[in-house]
Amino acid sequence: MTNACAVTEADVLTIKVQMSDVVKELNQLVDHWKARAERFHAQWEANEWYLGEARATVGRLESQLTELREAYARLEASLTLQLHEQARQRDEANWYLGELRVVHEALRQQTRELIEQLTQAKDDVEVLRRVAEARQDDLDTERDRRRAAEADLEAVRRHGERRGAVRRQRPDMVAEVRAPDGLLLFHGCLPNISVTGLAFGTDQLIEDVPDFVEVTLHVPGIARPIEGVGRLVWREAVEGANQWGCELLDLLPDNRRSLEDVLANGA
């Protein structure tokens, strides 16, 4: 304190204080603390306002939290029902799947059995087809023989043909019969043949039958064909086809021997 002084007189300490200065300093202190108190009060009021706002915010958050909890409870209940329904549908689908697997396995077994039966049936059909082809070949052979026999009988009956050699069947022999001008009258296999004549068939009637024809015989295993001159001696219509009888008139000695050997080996 600057307004106080100490005086010692006769061993007595005397302190003198100027009160006006003290009062002034005290007033300054009072003003200082009053200002601080006002600031503290203002801060307290501000804190109270913020506290109120915080309490309101907390209330709103608690309300929202309550709503969220209720919504979560409803959602959980709905999801629980959906999960139970999905579990029921899954169990039902698994049951149907098991039934379908049983049916599928049964169908696969039936399919395998049907495939085996079909394979066996195909084998049986193939065997029957081969048997039918063999029977058809036999039938065709017998039919050709019958036609040849009928043609021979008809030739004997109508034309008085007398064969000097036995006719034989050579299905591997191919013959060509041409007119003198080179016109092809027949090309194919012969129903029968001998060293003195042969028979052949055509689908169409030969117009202007020539007096003589050129005959060429192709035999497997013989390099040169057998050639000669023949004469058409009879014709017969059998089942829509024309059967012809050709007498071999002129064969070279080598050709005749070749034909005799071929017919003898094929007998």
pTM over the 0.85 mark? no
What does the DSSP 8-state code read for residue 133? Answer: H
Whether residue 267 contacts residue 198, with contact meaning beta carbons closer than 8 Å, is answered with: no
Model pLDDT, residue 138: 77
pLDDT one-digit tens code per residue, 213-260: 999 999 888 888 999 999 999 888 877 788 888 999 888 888 888 888
Closest by CA position to 192, among listed 218, 174, 156, 167: 167
In the block, residue with structure tokens 């005749």: 256
Residues of the chain predicted below pLDDT 50: 159-162
Whether residue 198 contacts residue 186, with contact meaning beta carbons closer than 8 Å, is answered with: no
Model pLDDT, residue 225: 92
9-34 burial code (b ≥16 CB/10 A, e <16): eeeeeeeeeeeeeeeeeeeeeeeeee
How is the chain split into domains, by residue range? 166-265
Model pLDDT, residue 265: 78
Distance CA(84)–CA(189), nearest Å, equals 87
Distance CA(238)–CA(244), nearest Å, equals 10
Model pLDDT, residue 88: 92
Percent of the chain exceeding pLDDT 90 equals: 36
Model pLDDT, residue 260: 87
Helix (H, G, I), strand (E, B) or coil at 266: coil
What residue type is assigned to position 210 of the chain?
Answer: P
Q: How many helices (H) and strands (E) does the chain have?
A: 2, 9
Superfamily of domain 166-265: predicted glycosyltransferase like domains (2.40.10.220)
pLDDT one-digit tens code per residue, 82-109: 999 999 999 999 999 999 999 999 999 9
Other residues' Cβ atoms within 10 Å of the Cβ of residue 148:
18
The partner residues of 9 in beta bridges, in order of sequence, read: 12
Whether residue 226 contacts residue 217, with contact meaning beta carbons closer than 8 Å, is answered with: yes
Question: Taking every pair of C-alpha atoms in the chain, what is the biggest distance, in angstroms?
Answer: 209
Model pLDDT, residue 111: 92
